[in-house]
Amino acid sequence: MPRIPDHLLDRIKREIPVRLLVERAGIELRGLGDNLAGRCSRHDDSTASLIVTPDKNLFHCMGTCQKGGSVIDWVMWQKEIGFHQAARELAEEFFPDDAQKLFGRKAEIAERRRGEELPSPLREGAEDQELVSDAVAYYQARLERSPEALAYLGKRGLDDAELIARFRLGYGDRTLGVTLSVKLRRKLQEVGFFRSSGHEHFNGSLTVPFFGEKGEVLGCYGRKINDNLRPGTPDHLYLPGPHRGLLNREAFKASGEILLCEAPLDALSAWRHGFRNVTTAFGVEGFSEELHEAFLAHRTERVLIAFDRDEAGDRGAEKTARKLAAAGIACYRVLFPKGMDLNDVALKMHPAEKTLGLFFRSAEWMCGGNGAKTVLFGGSGTNGSGGLDGPGGSEGLEGPEGPRGAGGSKASKPAQRAALKAHVETAATSPGEAAKKEERTQAAKEGSTSSDPLVSLGDDEAVFLFGDRRYRVRGLKRNTAFGVLKLNILLTREDAAGGDLFAGSPLTGLHADTFDLYLARARQLFERQAALELGVKDDVVKRDLAAMLRKLEDAQAEALRRLHEPKVSEILLSEKETAEALAFWKSPNLLDRIVSDMTACGHVGEATNKLVTYIG
């Protein structure tokens, strides 16, 4: 039997992922610091004692087995065969060309046999493009069988069957590589679905493919669905290389007006709530050339940039707008609340369709356009198509020179906001709903309190809306005991014509104070002063505070529950520490070492007493 050369043994140990072999054995691995852990199949293992270290490509059963080593050791252990036979089998499967030169035609037979034993979900003879489509289709099928991925979609408000099918969403559940042949694995590594380490690129990620003109898959985005990732693990992934393909390419043909989001899940949220003329960049710095060319080729007239409302989003929006404006495209900035993105707004501010529509219709012109009056979210473009296809979609009033009123004269910003809101709500309201809306408006004027006034709730801040009265509450974190609810409350009353969601709406009153909601005297003082400042009755503010108090008590109880939950800290030993510990416990002179250590600690007496003390 020929000797296996050292260079081939080194390749076997270095290039064949031990994780792959472990998972092939049906063992599920989960992250544990820098390592992976799973339940050993060779003994009763309820504590996941089988440790895999990807960086060193080693395994170690810390339980009953006490086995460890390289991929060759794994095969020897699992199949109970010798070193040479284990190395040969691995060489025949993963390095068939080298094995054939060394062992002859049997390597080809072994490779075919293993191919028959491990049927692949992908086509063996597929070209790269077909292989990418097959991988996306495989992930799509796995999503339907992944409760954790479906739960994540529900948490993000994207659990819609039409949306999942339309955008071919999928999930990388770590099973793609289990039954792949060596040839397919190598090809998938070349197109980016596997890394050089042997890991699936989209492990544990929701996948969103990007398509070309003919419907072919050109790119893919992955979003990790778990929050307990080791530090430094990115939440967002793309295939290696230049960004290719577009999300929702049909939008460019349907309208001269496009909503441009920062990330795919934001775009899916907009589509989910009825705004169909939407696409996405590849992050704040990911405005690709292909995306830019699509805007130019379809003669897009207006782009609403709905990037996240943070420093990076503002910077990316400015950069993107300048590039589009150079081609004569009018660019508008959608101004979400600070620190929020489109998906946050859809989840936290209800009803989502109406709220998003109001934010879109109040978008501020940034640059671009020909200086003439344009139509925002509606009307016909140069391609004869309608504007953004959203609920209650209608003509807007703002263009590069600012909003215009009757006769073409410039309108003030408050008047523009009022006109936009009135226009949108009129378009979205059917005749049958108009009477109900009037009743609700009248009730708000009379000081009624909404049954569900909570608009948003964070760790330290909450916002409540009661008709035309808006309460911003801060300081929730400071209240760490029951019976105390000292908060800073800012109450504003907004002009009914100015809208209830936009910064800069005309105010008819404002009052702010810091006090304990449980103190009746302080509460009554706030009610009287706020009512005086806002021009409402004391009872109106009193009812508002009572409704807020119930919501804030619930939030405080939940925060205190989380605060007092026992914190379980897991101590992980390094490989060196583990080896030292095992060496200590396996030492043939263990009892002598214990006696010696106890003596060094200052204990005196007989050796037996020292051992009893140590055990105790």
> Which pLDDT belongs to residue 296?
93
> Which pLDDT belongs to residue 300?
92
Q: pLDDT > 70: what percent of the chain?
A: 78
> Which pLDDT belongs to residue 393?
39
Give 14-72 pLDDT, tens digit per residue.
899 999 999 888 888 988 888 999 998 888 888 889 999 998 999 999 888 888 999 99
Q: Which among 69, 72, 67, 114 has a CA at the least distance from the CA of 90?
A: 72
> Which pLDDT belongs to residue 105?
53
> Which pLDDT belongs to residue 377?
44
Phi, psi of 343 (to 5 degrees): -65, -40
Q: Please answer whether residues 209 and 237 qualify as being in contact, where contact means their C-beta atoms are separated by less than 8 angstroms.
A: no
> Which pLDDT belongs to residue 514?
92
Dist. CA 284–CA 313, nearest whole Å: 6
Q: What is the largest CA-CA distance in the chain?
A: 107
> Which pLDDT belongs to residue 220?
94
Q: What is the DSSP letter of 2?
A: P
Give 492-530 pLDDT, tens digit per residue.
886 443 333 333 344 557 888 999 998 988 999 999 988
Dist. CA 275–CA 363, nearest whole Å: 15
Q: Model pTM?
A: 0.50
CA 586 to each of CA 175, 411, 487, 591, 593: distance values in angstroms, whole numbers, following the listed order = 38, 85, 60, 11, 12
Phi, psi of 33 (to 5 degrees): 65, -130
> Which pLDDT belongs to residue 379?
31
Average pLDDT per consecutive 10 residues, the chain (616 residues; last block may be shorter): 81 91 87 90 85 92 89 86 83 84 60 44 74 89 88 92 93 76 78 78 92 90 83 85 92 90 95 94 91 93 92 92 92 89 90 88 83 37 40 35 33 46 41 46 48 75 87 89 89 56 50 90 90 85 91 87 73 86 88 87 85 86
> Which pLDDT belongs to residue 292?
94
Give 115-146 pLDDT, tens digit per residue.
444 345 677 767 788 888 888 998 998 898 88
> Which pLDDT belongs to residue 79?
78
Structure tokens at 340: 């929020």
> Which pLDDT belongs to residue 121?
66
> Which pLDDT belongs to residue 197?
62
> Which pLDDT belongs to residue 478?
87
Dist. CA 30–CA 424, nearest whole Å: 50
